[in-house]
Amino acid sequence: MRTSFTSRFLTAAQQRQEVIRAPVFHSFIGALFSSVSLRGLSMRAPGCVALLVWLLNDAAARQFTEEEMSGIRQRIKSMFYHAYNSYLDNAFPYDELRPLTCDGQDTWGSFSLTLIDALDTLLVLGNRTEFERVASLLQDTVDFDIDVNASVFETNIRVVGGLLSAHLLAGRAGMELESGWPCSGPLLRMAEDAARKLLPAFQTPTGMPYGTVNLLHGVSPTETPVTCTAGVGTFILEFATLSRLTGDATFENVARRALRALWKTRSDIGLVGNHIDIVSKKWVAQDAGIGAGVDSYFEYLVKGAIMLQDEELLNMFLEYDRAIQNYTRFDDWYLWVHMHKGTVSMPVFQSLEAFWPGLQSLLGNLDSAVRTFQNYYSVWRQFGGLPEFYSIPQGYTVDKREGYPLRPELIESAMYLFRATGDHTYLQLGLDALESIERIAKTPCGYASVKDLRDHQLDNRMESFFLAETIKYLYLLFDPTHFLHGGGTEGDGSWEEGGEGGQCVLGAGGFIFNTEAHPLDPAALYCCSRHTQDRRELRDILINLSQHDRQSKQPTKETEGPAPESIALKPGEKKTPPPLSCPVQPFSARLSILGQVFSDNT
């Protein structure tokens, strides 16, 4: 069976050039909600895969009652609190808990990463009081003015994403909100503060960012220009959210510039590699695939398209997807191929790739998503977890990549597919995951990464994504009427009001999860953009009026424009709010400010 798979994908590789790449036109809405699978069934394995799918479906014949699901939700909560309390007791204010030695360590920075990453999970589990306590604890204790070299990518998805999400959920948590929320607020200011520290990384000739930045001093002169693809293309969700909430376009602009620069580097056959030199634009690692180093780039094109209703991002993804389906997909597995030649370079499934069926289901490509999920689920069942790398022809783990660091991706896909199909197979995976993790990874002090799935050796590490993502997706899988699923139509998903005079209807358009599972609310972006637009119009009026006033009083150098503003702040410098910073001022109040300007000048 293994040999036959190898020969099948080699044959398929030879046949690849004969695959008809039909030009397909999709309207924006149509593309989001209809299937755009571009390959025929010709390469799918007939017998063995069909049997496997049948067997797995048969296993899924088991139906979960509401009572069982509620019991499982309680078990997931206990899992969360075992890990969370242990982090607080033994590791805070360090970034992470070390679950074997029962202490803490800084890993991705020095900003209590686990607490920031876990904050919105508290609310997802319904713990408003602890959410509120931690939100204010973080405001008092976390400082981003630190001499630390931090990953631009990780700081963005975990810290900026976590704070933005907590900011947007603060209303639902019943916290006291400052006037102007959701377009202003202390957690939003923290997110902006952290993101501003990342901006120096984007000041490159191409606009593609460096991988690491010192939070106090900016990019080191010795910093390597080589970074991974996901490190360039995983900013649009957080940065567009920041820009649209605060009215400062800088963040969205740098994220878009990086995306456009990366898009231009794709190969003639429409693929991108794994690592790129962001100064010379040369591809340093030329393996193309959907896993480590690339994964969230594709995720952000799709989710960015949905959150921002952005056709440019969607079209980029659809073009990549055509090439991915043509060159990398074999029997609903996705392999690694050479980005220029399309020849197979690594017939390996990586656990990070397990987000793909969920992403495909967002695009409406359900059939293919279901089949790919079944492939990945078969690996889970073989090992009781997903090894980092799995050799598809050999049907076994890859040397030195046998670990399972409690990643969320397969559970994440199960959540999307259960929402899309209602098939209880996905609940079964959830229960398997819960039981495996309890059995293999639980320690008296938390949950430990599995170093080797073959003998269940453990590593002294509990990554922050275990609380931010793995447990959150697991809980949401078993809570189909949770407000994060409902978009205001199901369960307790009642809409929430915010903004001036309650004019923002929040949560109405559903939520988009960033790649660290932090939910973002597109309705808030829309609402605050409207206020920003009003504010800009008002500012333009004021500038015109004051220029007119100055010109009439003294002759000036007419051609002199405003000094170009640096996008980054100097160390220790704080951003001063623009003179008209209240985002939700009623129009009548703005008129009175206008009146004030007149009266001051007269």
Binding residues: 515
| Partners of residue 497 on adjacent β-strands | 505
- Expressed in percent and rounded to 5, the helix, strand and coil fractions of the chain are 50, 10, 40
Q: Is there a catalytic annotation at residue 537?
A: no
What is the smallest separation between the CB atom of 408 and ligand DMJ, expressed in angstroms?
A: 6
Tokens read off for 166? 């907590």
Look at residues 445, 141, 160, 514 and name the one whose alpha carbon lies nearest to residue 133.
141
The continuous run of DSSP H or E covering 198 comes out as: helix 186-198
Q: Is there a catalytic annotation at residue 388?
A: yes
Contact by Cβ (8 Å): 269, 323: yes
- Name residue 459's amino acid: D
Residues belonging to the binding site for Ca(2+) are 515
Question: In a 10 Å sphere around its CB, with 0-12 CB exposed, 13-18 middle and 19+ buried, how is residue 124 labelled?
Answer: buried
DSSP state, 449?
Answer: -
Q: Please report where in the chains the tokens 């695009």 appear, as a residue.
A: 363
Nearer Cβ to ligand DMJ (60/292): 292
Nearer Cβ to ligand DMJ (228/568): 228
Nearer Cβ to ligand DMJ (287/516): 516
* Catalytic-labelled residue, pool 287, 332, 388, 516: 388
Nearer Cβ to ligand DMJ (117/496): 117
How do beta strands 519-520 and 336-338 pair? Answer: unpaired
| Partners of residue 389 on adjacent β-strands | 350
Q: Which residues contact 527 (CB under 8 A, 6 or more apart)?
A: 182, 183, 498, 499, 503, 504, 505, 506
Nearer Cβ to ligand DMJ (425/515): 515
What is the smallest separation between the CB atom of 516 and ligand DMJ, expressed in angstroms?
A: 5
d(C-alpha 148, C-alpha 110), whole Å:
7
What is the smallest separation between the CB atom of 363 and ligand DMJ, expressed in angstroms?
A: 18
Number of helical H runs and strand E runs in the chain: 23, 23
What is the smallest separation between the CB atom of 303 and ligand DMJ, expressed in angstroms?
A: 12
Nearer Cβ to ligand DMJ (193/299): 299
The continuous run of DSSP H or E covering 73 comes out as: helix 66-90
* Catalytic-labelled residue, pool 95, 120, 252, 409: 409
Q: Is there a catalytic annotation at residue 18?
A: no
Tokens read off for 28? 């924006």
Q: Is there a catalytic annotation at residue 573?
A: no
d(C-alpha 82, C-alpha 266), whole Å:
45
d(C-alpha 31, C-alpha 323), whole Å:
17
d(C-alpha 28, C-alpha 314), whole Å:
8
Nearer Cβ to ligand DMJ (130/469): 469
Give the interface with ligand DMJ as residue ranges (CB under 6 A).
296, 352, 407-409, 465, 469, 515-516
Q: Which residues contact 569 (CB under 8 A, 6 or more apart)?
A: 196, 575
Tell me the CB-side half-sphere exposure of residue 84, using CA atoms within 13 A.
23
Q: Which residues are catalytic?
A: 154, 295, 388, 409
